[in-house]
Amino acid sequence: MGVFALGIELDGEGFHPQAWRRAAHAPDRLLTGDTLRTRVATAENAGFTLATFADSILAPQHVAGRIDAVTRASFVAATTSTIGLVPTVATTYAEPFHTSSQIATLDYASRGRAGWIAERIDDPRAAATWGRTQVTGDDELAREHSDSIEVARRLWDSWEDDAVIRDYPNGRFLDRNKLHYTDFRGDTFSVKGPAIVPRPPQGQPVVFGADGDVDVRLVAADSVAAAIESAEQARSAGAPLAFAEIDVTLDTPGATAVERLGAAPSNSPARLAFSGSAAELVDLLTHLSAHLDGVRLHPAVIDEDLPVLARQVLPALLRTGVAHRPVPGSTLRANLGLVRPANRYAASH
């Protein structure tokens, strides 16, 4: 195995339904910039490779409200320097032209640390919110999911890397021959292009997801053995990297995980659930590092579990070489061991 990456989900207060009761701040402080900035800074200082931000057009189940994920990631882009910033943007109903522009802009704001969790939405309320005809059936959802990712990738390539000239004396700023039409036509939308944002610093921001043409396959499995098997299947199907999804409830200095939250029901029945000490989690992640490329941790209560992760779990993994801090000045792709892809249109041009 190569790089073993550590990701953490920082949406809301945590996956536990009662997490808001245990937060370190008043309920009205959840949506403030200070809360977001402090949590992301803690994760970055601890050595996490990336932070993710869940999102949906639908109202969150256990949170009074949320600011959209791209806005949150963009807000902390200027206050961070090494951690990857990966918002969730749905592929169902959302306009892929807008999605590609948002993620490309985030990549510029973060100097090459942007990613995108491409996620389907199978809920009639989402269609009503967007004012779209409902997409039904696995085949139709898969097709729109695949088309959205394909369009975003084409748009990121629609500017060649040296399309911007900036020849001020002669008044030339773009080489029009290095901008390309994407000419995509699918069943539910068509996109002509080119993009309105130059090619992102990473060339292609890192795409995460449970399926489709992604760089990082997010594996949801309810056991270690199943997670390892699913990761192997994902790589065999062409995914460059595979991450396990893990719900984490940790012992804290004042109470054990069970005393804190009881059984701590998982946010996803198919997600690997861990409840125990920091040392036990270190052992689990060390074992997984031999079989997977990384993990995304979902804390039960961010304000209680993140400090334990930062003080006890990550230092142990860094000391043993299981994980490594992101390299300052590097892109998210580089920190994940992914190469910067060639521009598909430049090759043909």
Q: Which amino acid is at 19?
A: A
Distance between CA 304 and CA 311 in Å, rounded? 12
Q: What are the CA-CA distances from residue 224 to residues 49, 269, 272, 284 (Å)?
A: 22, 14, 7, 9
> What are the b/e assignments for 2-25, b being 16+ CB within 10 Å?
ebbbbbbbbbbbbbbeebbebbee
Q: Residue 167: its pLDDT value, please? A: 84
Query: What's the pLDDT tens digit per position in 192-234?
Result: 989 999 999 999 999 999 999 999 999 989 999 999 999 999 9
For residue 130, the model assigns a pLDDT of: 86
- So what's the pLDDT on residue 262? 75
pLDDT above 60 (res 266):
no
Instruction: Write the DSSP symbol of residue 325.
Output: P
Q: Which tens digit of pLDDT belongs to each residue from 143-153? A: 999 999 999 99
Mean pLDDT to the nearest integer, 71-78:
97
pLDDT at 265: 56
Amino acid at 34: D
Average confidence (pLDDT) over 99-128: 95
On average, the pLDDT of the chain sits at 92
Spatial CB neighbours of 92, under 8 Å, sequence gap ≥ 6: 120, 121, 122, 126, 135, 141, 144, 145, 148
pLDDT tier, 348 (very low <50, low <70, confident <90, very high otherwise)? low
Which pTM value belongs to this model? 0.94
58-72, 123-137, 218-232 — which one is most confidently predicted on average?
218-232
Given this model, what pLDDT does residue 347 score?
67
